Structure 1
Amino acid sequence: YWEESGNPDGVPVIFLHGGPGAGASPECRGFFNPDVFRIVIIDQRGCGRSRPYACAEDNTTWDLVADIEKVREMLGIGKWLVFGGSWGSTLSLAYAQTHPERVKGLVLRGIFLCRPSETAWLNEAGGVSRIYPEQWQK
């Protein structure tokens, strides 16, 4: 799934949501002035409004990078800003490393680099489990 909004002649920017597994919401447009930016929002494979939902088959980081590039090509965008949060920041960095000539700039927030300490904080006792113990037990 992908959508466009904002100024068709504006500075192109792609929004990459967190997750994996989450999706983009209409509120994501709020990061950008629609008079200035041509806003592209995608739901990554298996996420949000993309189909099939929650499918992990052929859903690697590099598959997602290729999807982003296909969207850029389809829309006829030369270079764009890449904006990502959480997992989207990781994906933004992977895209920028793979296609540096297509990236006008990066905006990264809530950076998640998939380091062992970060994944342990999410998946093991003593990290996120201290903040939401009931949900973590489920």
Structure 2
Amino acid sequence: MMDAAATEGNIRKIEWLQILGICLQGLRIAIPAAALLFIPAETVKATLNAMPEWLTTGMAIGGGMVVAVGYAMVINMMANREVWPFFIIGFVVAAISQLTLIALGALGFALALIYLNLSERGNSSNGGSKGDPLDDILNDY
């Protein structure tokens, strides 16, 4: 319907369809959340325990796939030669330690700040941030 409205040039219809889509997404979250407020915890626990093993195993595998797809999406969006060293450092640290995701996120944030600080110092003699591809990418957003 949005494509048809765009073809017609009807911006108002596109806006209303967008609002409708957002409301439907809200209902998609709100209805199950509200249902959980009224369903006793014992009922939910019994339902989960009644699920066959093949289903719970499949859901566990699917959950692992979500993580892999998430990493692939991040790498796909940010893959360039300036950030590959940070990906490598992150994966090595994640593999050799028992750090939590919060600790890994803090480490990644610290590395990003170090990189930005060093790139600013390196470009200060040039009179600006020209020549820094990462800075150019960030400024385009």
Q: TM-score, normalised by structure 2?
A: 0.21
Greater percentage in helix: 2
Task: Tell which has more relative contact order, 1 or 2 (C-alpha 8 A, sep 6+).
Answer: 1
Greater percentage in strand: 1
Q: Which has the larger radius of gyration?
A: 2
